[in-house]
Structure 1
Amino acid sequence: MDDRLFRNAMGKFATGVTVITTEVDGEAHGMTANAFMSVSLDPKLVVISIGEKAKMLEKINQSGTFAVNILAAEQQEVSMLFAGQIKEKRETEFDRIQDVPVIKDALANIVCKVYSKQAAGDHTLFIGEVQDIVLREGAPLTFFAGKYGEITERQPV
């Protein structure tokens, strides 16, 4: 099967946009990702998928913690920055929850400690046990067929 066909098919699944953050040796690191889902209520677990070539893989292995930051509609530039789509150097100011860096003004900051990990093809799945959550109101940033978007509020039928 052709790689492009597979990628195009996966792009037909509309997702939210997250930035995964962690800290190693006093330095915050982040990467944009849409491979995220909840796993369990008891214990409260989520999973993220990190490519074997991503710098974030070793950072999470070193720190043992990460945060999933669900981006708001107005945070497309934040996503682009952590996806490497903005090449100019920019300073990013982080908030902190339980000493883990998080993205300011995200719809949700979900702080996790690594519960387990599993190699899967060219990615590693990190299952995180949720330690803390901060929520904000707003509309989510979305991604579909290779493009950013947002959900508009539907009127009752």
Structure 2
Amino acid sequence: MDDNQFRNAMGKFATGVTVVLTEVNGAVHGMTANAFMSVSLHPKLVTVSISENARLLNKIKSSKVFSVNILASNQEEYSRVFSGKLKDDFRIEFDYLDGKPVLPGSLAQITCEVTQEHTEGDHILFIGKVTDTHVEEKKPLIFYGGKYHSLDDK
């Protein structure tokens, strides 16, 4: 099977949209990701999958911490900024949770300390021990078939 066939098949899985952030030397770095999952309740662990070519990879390796920001339906612009699709000069005022940068207004903010790294294919899986969370009651931003959707879509 070719790459496009595989990508098309994976696009049939509706996911939430997250922005993964970390801070190195006072500068916040981030990327949009949908490869995120809960791993364990005891202890509380999550995983994010980062491409070996992503600029964020070495930032997380250096800082050993990250936050996962689950985007609300009104935060598509954040997703576009952190995926590199919105090139305008977009200014973001970050909030902080447990000393880690988070996106204000996110549906959920999850802060983590890296406990393990696993290389699988062309990605690194970071296992993060959850150090704090903040949740708001909003509708999620959904990604399906290469497009953004919300639960309000008809």
SS of match in other structure, 2:60: helix
SS of match in other structure, 1:73: coil
1:39 alignment counterpart: 39
Determine the C-alpha separation between the residues in 2 that align with 1:90 and 1:151. 26
* Deviation, structure 1 residue 115: 1.1
Structure 1 residue 88 corresponds to structure 2 residue 94: no
Determine the C-alpha separation between the residues in 1 that align with 2:70 and 2:104. 10
Q: What TM-score results when the alignment is normalised by the length of structure 2?
A: 0.97
Structure 1 residue 107 corresponds to structure 2 residue 107: yes
* Deviation, structure 1 residue 89: 2.1
Determine the C-alpha separation between the residues in 1 that align with 2:9 and 2:118. 24
Determine the C-alpha separation between the residues in 2 that align with 1:126 and 1:12. 24
- Residue type of the alignment partner of 1:151: L
User: Which residues of structure 1 form unaligned runs of 5+?
Assistant: none
Q: Percent identity?
A: 55
Cα offsets for 1:54-88 (capped at 9, x unmatched): 00100000000000000000000111011101012
- Residue type of the alignment partner of 1:81: V
- Residue type of the alignment partner of 1:95: D
Cα offsets for 1:85-131 (capped at 9, x unmatched): 10122221100011110000000000000010100110000010000
- Residue type of the alignment partner of 2:128: G
2:137 alignment counterpart: 137
- Residue type of the alignment partner of 1:24: V
Determine the C-alpha separation between the residues in 2 that align with 1:75 and 1:97. 19
User: Which residues of structure 2 form unaligned runs of 5+?
Assistant: none
Structure 1 residue 13 corresponds to structure 2 residue 13: yes
Q: What TM-score results when the alignment is normalised by the length of structure 1?
A: 0.96
- Residue type of the alignment partner of 2:42: D
Determine the C-alpha separation between the residues in 2 that align with 1:89 and 1:118. 35
Structure 1 residue 125 corresponds to structure 2 residue 141: no
Determine the C-alpha separation between the residues in 1 that align with 2:68 and 2:115. 14
- Residue type of the alignment partner of 2:38: S
2:68 alignment counterpart: 68
SS of match in other structure, 2:37: strand
SS of match in other structure, 1:74: coil
- Residue type of the alignment partner of 1:110: I
SS of match in other structure, 2:45: strand
